Amino acid sequence: MAATIYLHWAATAYTWVRSGLYHSIIRGDGQVQRLHSYAVDLPAHTWRRNSNAIALSCACMGGRPDPWTIPPTPMQLEALCQEAAAVARSWGWDAGAITIQRLMTHAEAAANRDGRQPHDNYGPVIWGGTGERWDLLQLEKGGPPTGGEQLRQRVRQILRGEAGAAGATGASGAEMAPDPEPLQFVRSSVIQARGEPLATAIDEHGSSWALAAELLERYGLAFEWDGQRRRIIVGALDVVPLFREDAVQASVGWPLVEITLQQALAPVILRGILREGRAWCRVLEFAEEFGISASFDPFALAERRGG
């Protein structure tokens, strides 16, 4: 089956996050929580369409009895389109490639609107289905049943570089913010890590960043760099992802890099950036994810807790 991006809503509250179901979940405030590497297939997000596919989901539409009491927010929809566009770029797609065959909502997939017809129609009733799935059929209560095409049009705008155009609007009609300026790095520094100096870079907010490879080597963690997918695969067996709410977002303005565990579903430990042609990550986040003791004033890393 051709590579496809599927767009969902989770039928939950805005803060819901759970691994195993979707590759990324977008919270109500627009924060993207990357849970699994886009390089792996997940088993059960879109019936009979899980191979060679990526699932992005908005945490929303969980209102009871009216799902529209928790509708998709403008921030969610914009983040959903930005993330879909980032995936499209990584696959070499341009705006002209964004068709229903390559990017579709779960409502459209359930109703076989792309013409593949691999299953019975369990999509919206207005499309002859059973109504089991209607994710993103509409982007607002009472809106037109054209959510999929509205989202595709927004992704095309982003890929054409129109995201920051004055007066540009997103899929729900909300005015978009301009493209973010890249995070600035203001000075170099050195900290102690396992008793040895480690070169770092300090960003405009005072956070310390270091080369991911140097951190992994310092702590004897086996890893492999996958340049095509911009990810570092780590072979540690004693790490459990924290899925932090403050994970690095695309708004950092640099190409993102992910560090994943070498497991079947490739859970994402953390995200960093590609700067000066190399992968960097926040030092304190790295320490917290890998169970490394840290002290402050001065900032230093000690050993991994538990050995």
Determine the pLDDT at residue 178. 53
Please tell me the distance from the alpha carbon of residue 299 to that of residue 296, in angstroms, as a whole number.
4
Architecture of domain 4-159: 3-Layer(aba) Sandwich (3.40)
**Span 252-284, pLDDT tens digits:** 999 999 999 998 899 999 999 999 999 999 999
| 232, β-bridge pairs | 225, 259
**Span 210-266, pLDDT tens digits:** 999 999 999 999 999 998 889 999 998 889 898 888 899 988 999 999 999 998 899
Determine the pLDDT at residue 1. 61
Q: Which single residue is written with the structure tokens 């229903």?
A: 100
Determine the pLDDT at residue 244. 86
pLDDT surpasses 50 at 34: yes
Give this prediction's pTM: 0.86
**Span 42-91, pLDDT tens digits:** 999 998 898 999 999 999 999 999 999 999 999 999 999 999 999 998 88
**Span 134-164, pLDDT tens digits:** 999 999 999 999 999 999 999 999 999 874 4
Determine the pLDDT at residue 56. 98
Determine the pLDDT at residue 175. 45
- The segment(s) of the chain belonging to CATH 3.40.80 are 4-159
Mean of per-residue pLDDT scores for the chain: 91
